[in-house]
Structure 1
Amino acid sequence: MEMQTIPSQGTETGGEALLEVKPQEEAESAYDTLQSPSEDFYSDALISVPAKAAKGRQVGGSERLYRYGCFALTGVCFILLLTVILLSLKLGSQACPFEHCPKQISQNQHHCYQQCAKGWLPYGKSCYFLSTLRLSWADSQKNCSSGGGSLAVISSRGVQHFLTRTGNLTYWIGLRKNTTEWNWVNNTQLQQNYWSGSTIRSNCAYLSSEAPEEKNWETASCHALNYFICQLEL
Structure 2
Amino acid sequence: MASEITYAEVKFKNASPAAEVKVPPKTKKREHHPQKYPPWLPWLISLLLLLVCIALAIALLVAPFCHSSDQPTALQQKFMEWQCMSTMSQSKEQGWKCCPKDWKLFQKSCYYLSTDKLSWVESEQNCTGMGSHLVVINSKAEQNFLSKELQKLKNGENYYIGLKAREVEQWHWVDQTPFNETAAFWRKGEPNDMDDENCVVIHRFSNLPNNWNNVGCWNHHRICEAAAVTV
Instruction: Give the TM-score of the pair, scaled to structure 2.
Output: 0.57
Q: 1:74 Cα deviation (Å)?
A: 2.4
Determine what percentage of the aligned residue pairs are the same residue: 25
1:176 to 156, 159, 164: 164
Query: Is the contact made by 1:171 and 1:228 (CA closer than 8 Å) also made in structure 2?
Result: yes
Structure 1 contact 197–215 (Cα < 8 Å) conserved: no
- Which among 174, 189, 210 is matched to residue 214 of structure 1? 210
Q: Which residue of 2 aligns with 1:185?
A: 174
Change (3 A) 1:226 1:100: farther
CA deviation vs aligned residue, 1:98-143 (integer Å, no higher than 9, x gap): 3786x31426685434265664333332233322211222332233
1:70 aligns with 2:40: yes
1:194 corresponding residue in structure 2: 185
1:152 to 127, 131, 135: 135
Gaps of 5+ in 2: 1-32, 66-75, 152-156
1 CA distance for matches of 2:162 and 2:131? 14
Q: Whose relative contact order is higher, 1 or 2, with alpha carbons under 8 Å and at least 6 apart?
A: 2
- The residue number in structure 1 matching 2:18 is none
Residue-by-residue CA offset, 1:160-200 (whole Å, 9 max, x unaligned): 23323432421011123346743222222212333413124
Distance 1:130 1:215 in 2: 16
Distance (Å, rounded) in 1 between the aligned partners of 2:224 and 2:112: 5
Instruction: Work out which of the residue numbers 44, 48, 62 in structure 2 matches 1:92.
Output: 62
The structure-2 alpha-carbon separation of the partners of 1:197 and 1:184, relative to structure 1 and needing over 3 Å to count, comes to closer
**Which structure's residues are more often helix, by fraction?**
1
The one-character-per-residue Cα deviations of 1:18-58 (angstroms, maximum 9, x if unpaired) are xxxxxxxxxxxxxxxxxxxxxxxxxxxxxxxxxxxxxxxx9
User: What residue is the counterpart of 1:136 in the other structure?
Assistant: 119
Map of 1:48 onto structure 2? none
Which residue type is aligned with residue 164 of structure 1? S
1:140, 1:228 within 8 Å by CA — same for their partners in 2? yes
- Which has more radius of gyration? 1
CA distance in 2, matches of 1:177, 1:191: 14
8 Å Cα contact 1:175-1:182 kept in structure 2? yes
**CA shift in 2, pair 1:100/1:149, >3 Å:** farther
Letter in 2 for 1:106: S
Change (3 A) 1:78 1:142: farther
- Aligned CA RMSD, in angstroms, stands at 3.4
User: What's the secondary structure of 1:90's corresponding residue?
Assistant: helix
Change in Cα spacing, 1:166 to 1:74, as seen in structure 2 (3 Å) is: closer
CA contact (8 A) 1:163 1:209 kept: no
| Residue matched to 1:10 | none
1:94–1:230 distance in 2 versus 1, CA, 3 Å:
farther
Which residue type is aligned with residue 84 of structure 2?
Q
Q: Is the 8 A contact 2:133 2:224 kept in 1?
A: yes
**Shift in alpha-carbon separation, 1:209–1:230, aligned structure 2, 3 A:** same
Partners in 2 of 1:218 and 1:225 — Cα distance?
13
SS of the residue aligned with 2:179?
A: coil
Gaps of 5+ in 1: 1-57
Q: Structure 1 residue runs of 4+, over 6 Å off?
A: none
Q: How many residues align?
A: 169
Change (3 A) 1:124 1:85: closer
In the alignment, which of 46, 53, 57 is matched to residue 83 of structure 1?
53
